[in-house]
Amino acid sequence: ETGVTQTPRHLVMGMTNKKSLKCEQHLGHNAMYWYKQSAKKPLELMFVYNFKEQTENNSVPSRFSPECPNSSHLFLHLHTLQPEDSALYLCASSQGLAGESYEQYFGPGTRLTVT
Amino acid sequence: GQNIDQPTEMTATEGAIVQINCTYQTSGFNGLFWYQQHAGEAPTFLSYNVLDGLEEKGRFSSFLSRSKGYSYLLLKELQMKDSASYLCAVRDSNYQLIWGAGTKLIIKP
CA–CA separation, A3 vs A108, rounded Å? 10
Chain B CB contacts of A90 below 8 Å = 42-43
Give the three-state DSSP class for B61.
strand
Residue of chain B nearest A90, judged by CA positions: B42
Query: Is the pLDDT assigned to residue B45 strictly greater than 80?
Result: yes
Between the alpha carbon of residue B43 and those of residues A35, A72, A91, B36, B106, the distances in Å are 12, 20, 11, 5, 17
* Residue-wise pLDDT tens digits, B12-36: 999 999 999 999 999 999 999 999 9
Question: Chain B: nearest CA to A97, how far in angstroms?
Answer: 7
Are the beta carbons of B95 and A103 separated by less than 8 Å? Answer: no
* Residue-wise pLDDT tens digits, B4-14: 999 999 999 99
Residue B2: per-residue pLDDT: 85
* More confident call, B94 vs A76: A76
Residue A111: per-residue pLDDT: 96
Q: Would you call the peptide bond into A8 cis, given omega within 30 degrees of 0 as the criterion? A: yes
Q: Does A50 contact B at CB distance below 8 Å?
A: no
Name residues 51-80 of chain B within 8 A of A (Cβ): none
Mean pLDDT over B85-100 rounds to 92
CA A43 from centroid of its chain's CA atoms: 11
Q: Got the DSSP string for chain A?
A: --SEEEE-SEEEE-TT-EEEEEEEE-S--SEEEEEEE-TTS--EEEEEEETTEEEEE-S--TTEEEEEEETTEEEEEEES--GGG-EEEEEEEES-SSSS----EE---EEEEE-
CA–CA separation, B82 vs B107, rounded Å? 7
Count of H helices and E strands in chain B?
0, 11
Note whether A47 and A55 are within 8 A (CB): no
For residue B49, name the pLDDT band (cuts at 50, 70, 90). Answer: very high
Residue A63: per-residue pLDDT: 95
Mean of pLDDT over chain B: 95
Length, in residues, of chain B: 109
CA B92 from centroid of its chain's CA atoms: 16
For residue B102, name the pLDDT band (cuts at 50, 70, 90). Answer: very high
Tell me which residue in B30, B45, B95 faces A103 most closely, judged by beta carbons.
Answer: B45
CA–CA separation, B38 vs A40, rounded Å? 14
Residues of chain A short of pLDDT 70, as ranges, are 99
Q: Does B7 contact A at CB distance below 8 Å?
A: no
Residue A99: per-residue pLDDT: 66
